[in-house]
Amino acid sequence: MTSRSCLTVILAAGEGTRMKSELPKVLHMIAGLPIVAHVAKAVTGAGGSDIALVVGKGAEKVEAAVRAIAPNVTVHEQTERLGTAHAVLAARDAIARGYDDVLVVFGDTPLIETAALAQARAKLADGADVVVMGFRPAGPNGYGRLIEKDGRLMAIREEKDASAEEKQIGLCNGGLMALRGKSALSLLDRITNNNANGEYYLTDVVEIANAGGQSVVAIEISPDNVIGINTRAELAEAEAIWQNRMRRDMMMAGVTMHAPETVFFSHDTLVESDAILEPNIVFGPGVTVARGAVIHAFCYFEGAKIGANANVGPFARLRPGADLAEKSKVGNFVEVKNAVVGIGAKVNHLTYIGDATIGAAANIGAGAITCNYDGYNKHLTEIGANVFVGSNTSLVAPVKIGDNAYVASGSVITANVPADALAFGRARQEIKEGRAIELRARYAAAKLAKKAD
């Protein structure tokens, strides 16, 4: 299969008016990745690294989304909407370059799987000239039926034209197709618009190829593969299917999930085996979780690395640049941003750590924060190994705390603290005997005066 060249034509020119959005339909997100980029990932996985992208509205943004996945992209504008075959022929120049295989897919079918596309290519390698990808919906009403005889696909019959017997066929047209490259253009050029709508239909390729004695076959793929997105409701349904696939893949790879239906992944989330995910966790883009890490409930992560056997949450937020080393701990109501938490270090609760490094085995007390922003620029806080930072401490960056230093609770630290030193940064406590009585009387009188007004 790898020795065969392949071009994938992605049809992404639809305006998507039913999405009720200024954003092109194929740029709406599933698992943090544009719909059309999901398609590009699937086709590149099947060896279709060369892509002919047929675009309309928002062409530049659609192109950028696909190029982020597959750099070998040519862009072809579809200026008129005259049917699926007309859309494919917008990429005539790319098809004419000469490929062994040509795949035709839709930019709004994000659940297409690499395995389904590879199956179609395998049929081409076995000698088929046209491969139609079919599926069996729960209810076939409204779909074109695939008419087969002796293992050969004879026709795609639209339901309105189907006989009573043909309507009993459960295998339906999914719209996705694979063509032998050397005959693709000759087949496409023979499609006419001699129909009620005056459009050029890609499905006519089947009967044209049969009439020419070429090999036409159908393969059956999962119905999920052909789900198209036309509305926000369908977008949410596709997201749910994608998440369920990912959850199953994670668990089959050795990840424990207590309530998988409450855990949401991004398209690039990586979780190693023996990690444990408790309920209600959301992974944004760019998160990796190493072996044996425990993620407690109600956490949100984005752009973060979680080391082996680390312990995170509950109610923790890791922002981009958070890097938690092996056996580190980030506890409840802790936010970490652009910071390294060293091996075995603990940030247990109610703390903000931003633009910082924390050394191995350091302990950061409740309510401690790094004051990293001066209103114009971010500054670094460096906390050494085995440092103890007491509760409700403010570390005003740029500042460095040396190894084995101790920072007293309630301190505001504005200067570097040497290794093994003890730092206090707070006012000395004073006691004013009886002053509470005086204050209460003063405050009560002020309250009465305010009411009198």
CB 121, CB 195: distance < 8 Å: no
Residue 372 assigned as binding residue: yes
* SS3 (DSSP) at 66: helix
Residue 280 assigned as binding residue: no
Residue 183 assigned as binding residue: no
Residue 386 assigned as binding residue: no
CA distances from 368 to 68, 224, 365 (A): 40, 49, 6
* SS3 (DSSP) at 44: helix
Residue 391 assigned as binding residue: yes
Residue 121 assigned as binding residue: no
Residue 108 assigned as binding residue: yes
At a CB cut-off of 8 Å and minimum separation 6, what does 375 contact? none
Residue 139 assigned as binding residue: no
Residue 144 assigned as binding residue: yes
Residue 13 assigned as binding residue: yes
CB 114, CB 42: distance < 8 Å: yes
Residue 25 assigned as binding residue: yes
- In the chain the first and final C-alpha atoms are separated, in Å, by 89
Residue 409 assigned as binding residue: yes
Q: Which one of 76, 267, 349, 379 is the catalytic residue?
A: 349
Q: Is 349 a catalytic residue?
A: yes
Residue 366 assigned as binding residue: yes
Three-state secondary structure string covering 324-347: ECCCCEEEEEEEEEEEEECCCCEE
Residue 12 assigned as binding residue: yes
Residue 84 assigned as binding residue: yes
CB 166, CB 155: distance < 8 Å: no
CB 268, CB 285: distance < 8 Å: yes
20: left (phi over 0), alpha (psi -120 to 50) or beta: left
CA–CA distance, 355 with 14 (Å, rounded to integer): 44
What burial class does residue 268 get, using C-beta atoms within 10 Å of its C-beta: 0-12 exposed, 13-18 middle, 19+ buried? middle
Q: Give binding residues for Mg(2+) as ranges.
A: 108, 230
Q: Give binding residues as ranges.
A: 11-14, 25, 78, 83-84, 108, 144, 158, 173, 230, 319, 337, 352, 363, 366, 372-373, 391, 409, 426
Q: Give binding residues for acetyl-CoA as ranges.
A: 366, 372-373, 391, 409, 426
Q: Give binding residues for UDP-N-acetyl-alpha-D-glucosamine as ranges.
A: 11-14, 25, 78, 83-84, 144, 158, 173, 230, 319, 337, 352, 363
Residues labelled catalytic:
349
